[in-house]
Protein backbone atom coordinates (compact mmCIF):
# COMPACT_ATOMS: atom_id res chain seq x y z
CA UNK A 1 0.00 0.00 0.00
CA UNK A 2 1.34 3.46 -0.89
CA UNK A 3 1.68 6.52 1.31
CA UNK A 4 0.00 9.83 0.60
CA UNK A 5 1.31 13.13 1.93
CA UNK A 6 -0.74 16.26 1.37
CA UNK A 7 -0.67 19.87 2.49
CA UNK A 8 -2.94 22.85 1.93
CA UNK A 9 -2.40 26.46 2.93
CA UNK A 10 -3.10 30.00 1.80
CA UNK A 11 0.14 31.69 0.80
CA UNK A 12 1.21 34.75 -1.17
CA UNK A 13 1.48 34.68 -4.95
CA UNK A 14 5.27 35.06 -4.62
CA UNK A 15 5.52 32.10 -2.21
CA UNK A 16 3.41 29.97 -4.56
CA UNK A 17 5.75 30.88 -7.43
CA UNK A 18 8.80 29.96 -5.32
CA UNK A 19 7.31 26.55 -4.46
CA UNK A 20 6.54 25.78 -8.11
CA UNK A 21 10.09 26.80 -9.12
CA UNK A 22 11.54 24.62 -6.35
CA UNK A 23 9.51 21.68 -7.65
CA UNK A 24 10.77 22.32 -11.20
CA UNK A 25 14.41 22.43 -10.02
CA UNK A 26 14.01 19.11 -8.22
CA UNK A 27 12.44 17.48 -11.30
CA UNK A 28 15.45 18.56 -13.39
CA UNK A 29 17.81 16.56 -11.16
CA UNK A 30 18.89 13.20 -12.52
CA UNK A 31 18.51 11.45 -9.18
CA UNK A 32 15.99 11.57 -6.38
CA UNK A 33 13.72 14.62 -6.22
CA UNK A 34 13.35 16.00 -2.68
CA UNK A 35 9.89 17.55 -2.69
CA UNK A 36 8.71 19.77 0.17
CA UNK A 37 5.12 19.14 1.23
CA UNK A 38 4.37 21.43 4.13
CA UNK A 39 7.07 20.85 6.75
CA UNK A 40 7.94 17.37 5.41
CA UNK A 41 10.43 16.40 2.69
CA UNK A 42 9.39 13.50 0.44
CA UNK A 43 11.97 11.70 -1.72
CA UNK A 44 10.57 10.70 -5.13
CA UNK A 45 12.22 9.03 -8.12
CA UNK A 46 10.86 10.67 -11.30
CA UNK A 47 11.32 8.70 -14.51
CA UNK A 48 12.78 10.27 -17.64
CA UNK A 49 9.28 10.28 -19.15
CA UNK A 50 6.51 11.95 -17.13
CA UNK A 51 2.76 12.11 -17.75
CA UNK A 52 1.67 15.77 -17.56
CA UNK A 53 -1.82 17.16 -17.12
CA UNK A 54 -2.96 20.72 -16.35
CA UNK A 55 -6.46 22.05 -15.87
CA UNK A 56 -7.71 25.61 -15.31
CA UNK A 57 -11.13 26.15 -13.80
CA UNK A 58 -13.00 29.44 -13.72
CA UNK A 59 -16.08 29.62 -11.50
CA UNK A 60 -18.84 32.11 -12.03
CA UNK A 61 -19.38 34.83 -9.43
CA UNK A 62 -23.04 33.75 -9.40
CA UNK A 63 -21.99 30.49 -7.68
CA UNK A 64 -20.78 31.85 -4.31
CA UNK A 65 -18.14 34.24 -5.65
CA UNK A 66 -15.66 34.24 -8.51
CA UNK A 67 -12.82 31.75 -8.13
CA UNK A 68 -10.06 30.41 -10.36
CA UNK A 69 -8.05 27.26 -9.84
CA UNK A 70 -5.17 25.46 -11.55
CA UNK A 71 -4.67 21.74 -11.03
CA UNK A 72 -1.36 20.26 -12.13
CA UNK A 73 -0.72 16.52 -12.17
CA UNK A 74 2.57 14.77 -12.85
CA UNK A 75 2.80 10.96 -12.84
CA UNK A 76 5.39 8.34 -13.77
CA UNK A 77 6.21 4.68 -13.44
CA UNK A 78 8.83 4.01 -10.77
CA UNK A 79 11.63 1.71 -11.95
CA UNK A 80 12.01 -1.40 -9.88
CA UNK A 81 15.38 -1.90 -8.19
CA UNK A 82 17.30 -4.83 -9.67
Domain boundaries, the chain: 13-75
Torsion of CA 63, 73, 5, 18, to 10 degrees: -90
**How much is the average pLDDT of 9-32?**
94
Q: What is the pLDDT of residue 80?
A: 77
pLDDT at position 61 over 90: no
C-alpha–C-alpha distance, residues 71 and 44, integer Å: 20
- pLDDT exceeds cutoff 70 at 30: yes
Q: Is the pTM of this model over 0.85?
A: no
Characterise 79 by phi-psi region: left (phi > 0), alpha (psi -120 to 50), beta (else): beta
Q: Sorting pLDDT into bands at 50, 70 and 90, what band is 60?
A: confident
pLDDT for 63 equals: 67
pLDDT at res. 82: 40
Amino acid sequence: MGDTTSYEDEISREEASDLVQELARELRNDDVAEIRIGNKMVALSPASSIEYSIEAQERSPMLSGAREEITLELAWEVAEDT
